[in-house]
Amino acid sequence: MFENLTEKLQRTFKNLRGQGKLSEEHIDTALGEIREALLEGDVNVGVADDLLAAIRAKALGSEVMLQLSPDQQVLKIVRDELTTLLGKHAKPLFASRPPSVWMIVGLQGSGKTTTTGKLSKWLTQNGHRPIVVSTDVYRPAAREQLAQVAKAVGTTLWPGAGTDKPLEIVRGAIREAKLSASDVIVVDTAGRLHIDDELMNELGMLKKELQPSEILFVADSMTGQDAVRSAGEFHKRLGLTGVVLTKLDGDARGGAALSIGKVTGAPVKFVGLGEKYDALEAFYPERIVSRILGMGDILSLIERAEQTVDRKMAAELERKMRHNEFSLEDFRDQLKQIRKMGPLEQIMDMLPKMGPLANMPRDAHVDEKKLKQVEAIINSMTNEERGDHNVIDGKRRKRIARGSGTTVQDVNQVIKQYMQMRTMIKQYGTMAARGKLRGLGGKLSGMS
């Protein structure tokens, strides 16, 4: 099921089992593959090379564990290293005496105003009384945008009418917050380049006036190598307390999160997953690591599955996976579950975009129809056939096709797909059985 990097590492370490220490030569080949994965994932080249040095040292010193194959062992070191760099899951900060101030800063178009709306909604849902204010006096209609956003999420807005001086606007907002007993002021600021001295000074002045408990850097997850410079400069000037990573609903790998973590040390506190104001989630470092490495957001997928999938069925399925007893009937049940999980498109977005799944059609509409067809075909089989696909000869295929209103080719295809999935599951099953996929295996057993 997993892609590229996993496979490449497997190849690199093919003949290494039971050899004591990992050899230097093998490790360096593996590091080359890892470097490429990191760079493809938009991790800054300097940050990637530092990471690789640390990974190399750890890998060289480690004994080959009986429990883990060498490729899995290296992958584990890589994951641990990346997760450490991203820091721990961190909660947002409030002042000891309200109102707390959250300053929202970042480059142009990264998602600051939208995030301001999302945060105020999140705050309200968590029992706070936020007030939002825009200090973006530069971008056309920027203040109007926040006004509309505030209306949409039902948050109090300080319009700051009558002045276009950011400092005066926020002074008014502080007064208003006290009058209206608001406990958090979320301050939206204009997008600016980190090399724009004048505007960076403006942020410094606002910070001095506001004494914020959070200065959140809003970063676009599609950002490339430059993230170290922009985030680094914002941090140097302001001392960032956290990061919001936006637009993660796309297919960007999000390596900028690592680059930003490295140069600022500030934890990612939230991620943005859409344009709607409830598309904001807490950030869990482990989850993005496999995504950056091009392995898809497997954990989110599993969490989604956990929420919708029948637990007993999942446990049973896991047992079957371990014992290679995955039948056509299970295949059908799986497809049903997948359809229950929501629009296929969204699920596809969480799967790895590389390796064996790279060319998988991602058109949801076609697939939904196909899924129904597959179900119909399997429904037309006898119990015996569903239990053992080997008995399905040409004659039976014709009957199944007639029964399901499809063609023999369609039936052939379903059986082929089933066999492919079975093979995939077999590989996965052995991994999970050996407890190799810490997160995944653990999560799956937790479902029972």
Partner 1 sequence: MFGLFKKKDELEPSLLGRLKESVSKTRAAISAAAGNIFLGDRQISPELLKKLETALLSADLGVATTREALEAVREKMDREALRDAGQVKSELKKQLLRIFEAAESSPAAAGAGAAANGDGPRVLFIVGVNGAGKTTSIGKLANRLRQEGRSVLLCAADTFRAAAIEQLEIWAQRNGVEMIKQKSGADPAAVVFDAVTAAKSRGVDAVIVDTAGRLHTKSNLMAELEKMKRTAAKVIPGAPHDVLLVLDATTGQNGLAQARQFTSAVGVTGIILSKLDGTAKGGIVVAITRELGLPIRFVGTGEQIGDLAPFDARTYVDSLFD
Ligand X SMILES: Nc1nc2c(ncn2[C@@H]2O[C@H](COP(=O)(O)OP(=O)(O)O)[C@@H](O)[C@H]2O)c(=O)[nH]1
| Cα gap 93→101, rounded to integer Å | 9
CA angle 397, 401, 404 (to 5 degrees): 135
- In the bound complex, what is the minimum distance in angstroms from residue 327's beta carbon to partner 1? 32
Q: Which does 433 bind (CB under 5 to 8 A by kind): ligand X, Mg ion, partner 1, none?
A: none
Please, which residue, 70 or 191, has the CB nearer to ligand X?
Answer: 191
Q: Does 92 bind ligand X (CB under 6 A)?
A: no
Q: Which residue among 60, 193, 366, 391 contacts ligand X (CB under 6 A)?
A: 193
Show contacts with ligand X in window 257-276 (CB under 6 A). Answer: 272-275
Angle, nearest 10°, between helix axes 70-86 and 45-61?
A: 130
Q: Does 346 bind ligand X (CB under 6 A)?
A: no
The residue number whose beta carbon is nearest to ligand X equals 272
Please, which residue, 100 or 114, has the CB nearer to ligand X?
Answer: 114
Contacts of 201 (CB under 8 A, 6+ apart): none
Please, which residue, 110 or 182, has the CB nearer to ligand X?
Answer: 110
Say if CB 5 and CB 219 are below 8 A apart: no
Please, which residue, 106 or 212, has the CB nearer to Mg ion?
Answer: 106
**What is the DSSP secondary structure assignment for residue 126, as one 8-state letter?**
T
- In the bound complex, what is the minimum distance in angstroms from residue 147's beta carbon to ligand X? 13
Please, which residue, 149 or 321, has the CB nearer to ligand X?
Answer: 149
DSSP letters, 226-286, are THHHHHHHHHHHH---EEEEE-TTSS---THHHHHHHHH-PPEEEEE-SSSTT-EEE--HH
| Cα gap 275→113, rounded to integer Å | 11
| Cα gap 384→400, rounded to integer Å | 13
Q: Is the peptide bond before 98 cis (omega within 30 degrees of 0)?
A: no
Q: Which does 253 bind (CB under 5 to 8 A by kind): Mg ion, partner 1, ligand X, none?
A: partner 1
By the criterion CB under 5 A, which residues form the site for Mg ion?
112-113
Please, which residue, 189 or 404, has the CB nearer to ligand X?
Answer: 189
Within 13 A of 249's CA, how many CA atoms are on the CB side? 13
Q: Which does 355 bind (CB under 5 to 8 A by kind): ligand X, partner 1, Mg ion, none?
A: none
Q: Which residue among 8, 112, 207, 436 contacts ligand X (CB under 6 A)?
A: 112
Please, which residue, 152 or 181, has the CB nearer to ligand X?
Answer: 152
Q: Does 358 bind partner 1 (CB under 8 A)?
A: no
Q: Does 110 bind ligand X (CB under 6 A)?
A: yes
Q: Does 107 bind partner 1 (CB under 8 A)?
A: yes
**What is the DSSP secondary structure assignment for residue 434, as one 8-state letter?**
T
| Total of chain residues touching ligand X, rule CB under 6 A | 20
Residue 174 exposed, middle or buried by CB count within 10 Å (0-12, 13-18, 19+): buried
Q: Does 41 bind partner 1 (CB under 8 A)?
A: yes
Please, which residue, 216 or 273, has the CB nearer to ligand X?
Answer: 273
User: Dihedrals φ, ψ of 101, to 5°?
Assistant: -120, 130
| Cα gap 268→88, rounded to integer Å | 9
Chain-centroid distance of CA 379 in Å reads: 36
Residues near ligand X (CB under 6 A) are: 106, 108-114, 139, 191, 193, 218, 246-247, 249, 272-275, 279
Residues near partner 1 (CB under 8 A) are: 36, 39-42, 44-46, 107-111, 113, 138-142, 144-149, 152, 193-195, 220, 222-227, 229-230, 247, 249-253, 255-256, 275, 345, 349, 362-365
